[in-house]
Chains A and B, each alone.
Chain A
């Protein structure tokens, strides 16, 4: 049955599936894991960095992109796309243009919800036209609006978007999401560093070889976005490992 209905994007299957969209979602599941966390005064985006080939220049592989950076008000919209890198590049370009068009037309910078809606609408258009395939990407979009409230949105290839407190996309997203569901508490996001640690811990669940394969970016309220260097990530990772050891020591003491 599936094989007869999965070629053209604009054709529903008898049981109501758009197979091309679902296949696009499968493509997303092949991408590297990304996690986004909304704290009280901070938003965190982390992604697994795939190990680069020996001769490849590491700096050209950037997964976290700024869509808009309003320097005077120091707020920004960050995004990470997981899935087909080329599709991501195209969508990011369109989103960046839209951010500036919006500023030109109405003088105000985009809200996170607006740009998410734009990206989602764009993705949906590609699920309803002849001769085109959907974008094989999911996005996590974070930022602060000018009312100072942090936001995290997730879009998927079908063009739907939702707001989240914390979410993960890509390979092993399910595992990470379960971890987040267990560990996202008011205490866990009480301070900025706690939120950052939660993001790193979530990624460490699924990332092999620790801190040097994690790319992290944060935005604090009223501050410009900050991309973490490998060293800074390492610092957090060592802190997390120390905490883990202490927790285990305490446990073993108790049990003895």
Chain B
């Protein structure tokens, strides 16, 4: 509705041509009641409206024939969430992403495996999405939802930058994203993201979830592989790390998570947000990385083990009990498509 939207959360116009109105946020009942109280002041042609019941075209909402957000076209009597869970497409899920804030900026790292259940939809996807020069988001949950909402966030931030003359802070961006998504609560939206940025108050990190959760913190890891990543991160994190230490910690955490989590794998993307903007540091194969980490951990047996190891001709994953010597030899380097744990032991 074309109202005075300048003071409402989410300045979006509802375009009738976008039939998937779910793409755009809608006014909540709460804001509508506020609007109603100030109705006298907002709609142009108000006086005429009262007198002769004439409605100026732009006070009408989108066409009544189009489904609105919150009014999904689902079979009657069926709650949308249940319906989607039973009949909806299997959405891409499962990942390991992490982000942490330290003296020299914010590090964001993620794996690159996009999985649909047990099918690897894409072994080399990019789960860290840039929003603008000083803001990145790690994405987890449904890839499609994440991609869409990030585009919406990009647009919103760009508009505000043009209006205000400066980019909104990371806190504002997180607030905007969580407010936009919280209107779709209960509709099976799944976006779990960490916004990493550098603004006027230095490096900032916010975790935003699609039910509206918004948390500020120093370390966040999101996804099915996050418990493994947290273990490594919590052990090695210090605010005063050097940049190289931070890179090593991030890579280590994701590599360990890809080792154990079936839905994480592929490569490890590493991004760094500095005062001058974000930078893609590296993309390294997860298996190779894990091998290197194991080599670093065991310097002495390495000399014997490296001779004793057969060439990694068989891509079989050794059983978890023989953890020491089989680490380096169990995966074929460079074959990032080999999901760990698919072979039977």
In the assembled complex, which residues on chain A have CB atoms less than 8 Å from the CB atom of B175? 105-107
In the assembled complex, which residues on chain A have CB atoms less than 8 Å from the CB atom of B4? 125
Chain B residues 134 to 171 lying within 8 A of chain A, measured CB to CB, are 160, 164-165, 168-169, 171
In the assembled complex, which residues on chain B have CB atoms less than 8 Å from the CB atom of A128? 44
In the assembled complex, which residues on chain A have CB atoms less than 8 Å from the CB atom of B38? 94
Chain A residues 90 to 130 lying within 8 A of chain B, measured CB to CB, are 94, 97-98, 101-102, 104-108, 111, 113-114, 118, 121, 125, 128-130
In the assembled complex, which residues on chain B have CB atoms less than 8 Å from the CB atom of A98? 6-7
In chain A, what residue has the closest Cβ to B168?
A106
What bracket does the count of chain A residues touching chain B fall in? Answer: 20 to 34
CA distance A113 to B179 in the complex (A): 24
Is the pair A102, B7 in contact by a Cβ cutoff of 8 Å?
A: yes
Partner of A131, one of B10, B47, B176: B47
Measuring CB to CB, which residues of chain B are less than 8 angstroms from any residue of chain A?
Answer: 4, 6-10, 38, 41, 44-48, 160, 164-165, 168-169, 171-172, 174-176, 179, 200
Q: A107-B171, A131-B47, A131-B48 are in contact. Are A101 and B8 (CB under 8 A)?
A: yes
In the assembled complex, which residues on chain B have CB atoms less than 8 Å from the CB atom of A132? 46-47
In the assembled complex, which residues on chain B have CB atoms less than 8 Å from the CB atom of A107? 169, 171-172, 174-175
Q: Shortest Cβ distance from B332 into chain A, in angstroms?
A: 48
Is the pair A130, B45 in contact by a Cβ cutoff of 8 Å?
A: yes
Is the pair A104, B9 in contact by a Cβ cutoff of 8 Å?
A: yes
Chain A binding surface SS class? helix
Is the pair A108, B171 in contact by a Cβ cutoff of 8 Å?
A: yes
Contact with B along A17-35 (1 / 0, CB 8 A): 0000000000000000000
CA distance A131 to B10 in the complex (A): 29
Q: Shortest Cβ distance from A100 into chain B, in angstroms?
A: 9
Contact with B along A144-159 (1 / 0, CB 8 A): 0011000000000000
Select the residue from A108, A111, A114 with max chain B CB neighbours within 10 A: A108
Partner of A101, one of B7, B45, B48: B7
What are 17 A-B contacts with C-beta separation under 8 Å?
A: A94-B41, A98-B6, A104-B9, A106-B169, A106-B175, A107-B171, A107-B175, A111-B164, A114-B164, A118-B6, A118-B7, A129-B44, A129-B45, A130-B48, A131-B46, A131-B47, A132-B46
CA distance A105 to B12 in the complex (A): 13
CA distance A223 to B60 in the complex (A): 47
Select the residue from A128, A129, A147 with max chain B CB neighbours within 10 A: A129
In chain A, what residue has the closest Cβ to B170?
A107
Q: Shortest Cβ distance from B269 into chain A, in angstroms?
A: 29
In the assembled complex, which residues on chain A have CB atoms less than 8 Å from the CB atom of B41? 94
In the assembled complex, which residues on chain B have CB atoms less than 8 Å from the CB atom of A125? 4
CA distance A101 to B179 in the complex (A): 12
In chain A, what residue has the closest Cβ to B51?
A131
In chain A, what residue has the closest Cβ to B9?
A105
Q: Shortest Cβ distance from B44 into chain A, in angstroms?
A: 5
In the assembled complex, which residues on chain B have CB atoms less than 8 Å from the CB atom of A101? 7-9
In chain B, what residue has the closest Cβ to A98?
B7
CA distance A146 to B44 in the complex (A): 36
Nearest 5 A/B pairs, CB to CB = A131-B47, A106-B172, A105-B9, A107-B171, A101-B7
